[in-house]
Amino acid sequence: MKETFYVTTPIYYPSGRFHIGTSYTTVLADSLKRLNELKGKDCYMLTGTDEHGQKIETVAEKNGLKPKEYVDKMADMAKELWKKMDIQYDDFIRTTDERHEKIVQKIFQIFLDKGDIYKGEYEGLYCIPCETYFTKTQLIDGKCPDCGREVVPMKEEAYFFNMKKYADKLLKYYDEHPDFIKPEFRKNEMINNFIKPGLEDLCVTRTSFDWGIKVPSDPKHVIYVWLDALTNYLTALGYLSDDDSLFEKYWPADVQVIGKDIARFHLIYWPIFLMALDLPLPKHIVVHNWIMMKDGKMSKSKGNVIYPETLIDRYGLDATKYFLLREVPVAQDGIFSPEAFVERYNFDLCNDLSNLLNRTVSMVNKYFQGKVEGYTGCINDVDKELEEFCITQINKFNELIDNFEIANSLQEIWNLIARTNKYIDETSPWILAKNDETEKLKSCIYHLIENLRKIAILIKPFMNETAENILNQIGIKDENLKTWESLNYYDKIKDIKVIEKGEPIFMRLNQEEEIEYLKKNMNQN
């Protein structure tokens, strides 16, 4: 049986159009799925929409729609976007799905029966957009610590989840599973900011609005969004349903990708809910930082929002994904600017990658009628060095990606691309050709093609179409030469023929024009 790999994205609030920030989480998760698929695992990816709560009720009303009509429309919009971004999810869960609602009610009842949920009265400061109560000490400058907006005093009868009961168990778990939270500093934030000062019990129901899942035994209460939302990762697999085969197969999740703003919910409440259900915890929760604009957060009112469609329609999907993954390191915020986008495109994609392919393909055509017969061994001194460099880079890549350092792992691939370009200058194939040093020339060409093959495999999880295009242009048809495992060998290419006239995979952009274009198109569509 194949090893399994279950990866999830957060379920998105369908309260507006998704910008490149929200797409980032999904692109990250999708890349991890593709990578593990390439490694031969049986993968399952879940995404979806978080459709209940006061905020959605209000937005729907503003749009003149009933909540359900509104969320139906928005879920379609999300699916449309993921299709355009070629996101290979296996299931799309909506919190309004019957399969979800039924199980959330069951889970609530289990917690009640166990005494983990009790009835009380909640009085606190409430952030309406975040649907979260805060204590005074949690506020930052008197405002919501998560979104920075105003909070209002509220009081209501409510059910609470006894988080305190599990605090020590959670700390022990953190301690015994150093790889659970990535990057590690997020764990310390949780401990220092929320657990050590004393974990508050979590309010898990509301009576102040209607749009949600009712508590079966007390239907004037609606189950508050976080208990409703977090359990999606289980209900989508059929947990506690008549058919729980997916749950048996894929749980616990291998990786759950989330943004820093929802770290507290996923690193504290979520593991505690799982503990209360006696379920194993996910192997890794990866918390990524945010894509910012030069002047701070993206916001419609500032007019600095950039949507994925704007980039994809003009520059293609792979360039868009490359920018996102490369420019936003998981552990730090990244900045979107038209200048940085055009620069990455022109330097990394066009100068480095596209030109390497182009130069190589045209040399194979010019010197060997497009043919590469087979491995020549290391004839030039630099051949050996190049082969060793390749092995080192692949090892570095693996180490970084295992630690979910995606931007850095891409950097290592680009170091390999740069080294391969340099190899052309060092070996000067045009001089070898002029001097009739055919064996040396053959060796040079073989090494270039082989490196391009490896580069294509390495970038495949992140830039599928580009990888396929490269493999096609260099004439790699044998499926055995496209596998992850084939990164381990250097000598297996035999009797291939490169394409006669390859189109450049990325064409140089006019810097000024494109910066202008991007500036004009921020917040436009």
> Residue numbers of the site for ligand MSP (CB under 6 A)?
10-13, 21-22, 24-25, 50, 229-230, 232, 258-259, 261-262, 290-291, 298
3 state DSSP class of 78: helix
Within 10 angstroms of residue 103's Cβ, the number of other Cβ atoms is 21
Comparing CB distances to ligand MSP, the nearer of 87 and 258 is: 258
Beta bridge partners of 182: 286
Work out how close the CB of 104 gets to ligand MSP at its nearest, in angstroms, rounded to a whole number: 12
> What letter represents residue 121's amino acid?
E
Sign of torsion over alpha carbons 14, 17, 23, 24: negative
Work out how close the CB of 8 gets to ligand MSP at its nearest, in angstroms, rounded to a whole number: 9
Comparing CB distances to ligand MSP, the nearer of 127 and 262 is: 262
Work out how close the CB of 56 gets to ligand MSP at its nearest, in angstroms, rounded to a whole number: 10
Comparing CB distances to ligand MSP, the nearer of 10 and 67 is: 10
Work out how close the CB of 18 gets to ligand MSP at its nearest, in angstroms, rounded to a whole number: 8
The answer to whether 284 and 404 are in contact (CB under 8 A) is: yes
Distance CA 518, CA 503 (A): 25
Q: 42: left (phi > 0), else alpha (psi -120 to 50), else beta?
A: beta
Distance CA 335, CA 264 (A): 24
Comparing CB distances to ligand MSP, the nearer of 12 and 82 is: 12
Work out how close the CB of 290 gets to ligand MSP at its nearest, in angstroms, rounded to a whole number: 4
The answer to whether 355 and 399 are in contact (CB under 8 A) is: no
Within 10 angstroms of residue 247's Cβ, the number of other Cβ atoms is 18
Comparing CB distances to ligand MSP, the nearer of 22 and 376 is: 22
Edge-to-edge strands, sheet with 42-49: 91-94, 42-49, 4-12, 255-259, 284-288, 181-182
Work out how close the CB of 338 gets to ligand MSP at its nearest, in angstroms, rounded to a whole number: 16
Comparing CB distances to ligand MSP, the nearer of 262 and 312 is: 262
Comparing CB distances to ligand MSP, the nearer of 46 and 246 is: 46
Tell me how far the alpha carbon of residue 23 is from its chain's centroid: 8
Phi, psi values for residue 90, rounded to 5°: -100, -25
C-beta nearest to ligand MSP: residue: 259
Please classify residue 344 by burial: count the beta carbons closer than 10 Å to its beta carbon, then call 0-12 exposed, 13-18 middle and 19+ buried: middle
In 81-212, which ranges are E strands?
Answer: 91-94, 117-127, 132-134, 152-161, 181-182, 202-203, 205-206
Comparing CB distances to ligand MSP, the nearer of 12 and 322 is: 12
Work out how close the CB of 309 gets to ligand MSP at its nearest, in angstroms, rounded to a whole number: 16
Contacts of residue 401, defined as CB under 8 A and 6 or more positions apart, other chains included, come to: 35, 409
Distance CA 396, CA 409 (A): 7
Work out how close the CB of 227 gets to ligand MSP at its nearest, in angstroms, rounded to a whole number: 10
Comparing CB distances to ligand MSP, the nearer of 232 and 409 is: 232
Work out how close the CB of 282 gets to ligand MSP at its nearest, in angstroms, rounded to a whole number: 12
